Amino acid sequence: MKHVAPPPNLDHVTPRDKAEILSQALPYIRKYHGKTIVIKYGGNAMTDPALQQDFAEDVVLLKLVGMNPVVVHGGGPQIDEALARIGKKGTFIQGMRVTDEETMGVVEWVLGGEVQQDIVSLINAAGGKAVGLTGFDGGMIRARKLRMQDKDDPSKEHDIGQVGEIESIDPSVVKALQDDAFIPVVSPIGFGASHESFNINADLVAAKLAEVLKAEKLMMLTNTPGVLDKSGQLLTDLTARRIDELFADGTISGGMLPKIAGALDAAKSGVNAVHIIDGRVPHAMLLEILTDQAYGTMIRSH
């Protein structure tokens, strides 16, 4: 049985203050009514029971006030745990998980089964109607094998097994669910030309899905306050040009690379705003969408 945190006690807030808070959210609710918001769910928000609860409530509230949330989730720590249970150690090359056939079986079972169903249950318990999908459903995510160049010697390629890159996304199954009041929860598993499975980076799936759905916003929950400069200060607003500079001087590196690269592609392809927000802050997503306060880094194409 999951631990469910009690709702915060708001007895100290006067009815007038509560009304004020709600009325301030109204312009944002009006502005984003009927719009699609793609949410990449990961990090602490996904493993801390109180934050899981906050996340589920936020998603349900966004749906109830007329927005269309779509959740894409990762699950690296859960995959490592499952591999350890069968006595297999995860191997990584240049930050990417080497995925042989046995590992892919575990990835499918963990992402498309365990993790996905946990998220669906959480959202349903909070009063929503969530439906789990993988890239196979409705032929949604067509992928091909990722060819990974060696970072020091571009003429050399690493074979990392069933890791894919996105060839195309057909969002019709997601649109059909949205129109029917459901909240889609997508696992980042795609299929190849011979219907083989591919494990795909969840940040890239979220970014591409936001692009093809013409989403109003792409929200990426992380374990950091957002994108930080070299001295650890939060950069609240980034343009494409500034991001190129941060890539070049090594400020953005490691796990932030695919996140920012995907975010930038989405911004350049018509997603109005991409937010990288701190998933460790309770209700960070609502605060970002329904207030003027910046709770992370916003990325714009220009």
Amino acid at 100: D
3-state secondary structure 61-122: HHHHCCCEEEEEECCHHHHHHHHHHCCCCCCEECCEECECHHHHHHHHHHHHHHHHHHHHHH
Is 75 annotated for ligand binding?
yes
> Nearest-CA neighbor of 69 among 42, 93, 49, 39?
39
Query: Which residues, at least 6 apart from 148, have a Cβ–Cβ distance to it below 8 Å?
Result: 93, 94, 96, 157, 158, 160, 163
Under 8 Å between Cβ of 110 and 76: no
At a CB cut-off of 8 Å and minimum separation 6, what does 294 contact? 236, 237, 288
User: Per the annotation, does 164 bind a ligand?
Assistant: no
The residue to which tokens 């575990």 are assigned: 106
Query: How many Å apart are CA 59 and CA 115, to the nearest integer?
Result: 17
97 annotated as a binding-site residue = yes
270 is in an annotated binding site: no
**Contact of 51 with 44, CB cutoff 8 Å:** yes
Binding-site positions for substrate:
75-76, 97, 199
For the annotated binding site, the residues are 75-76, 97, 199
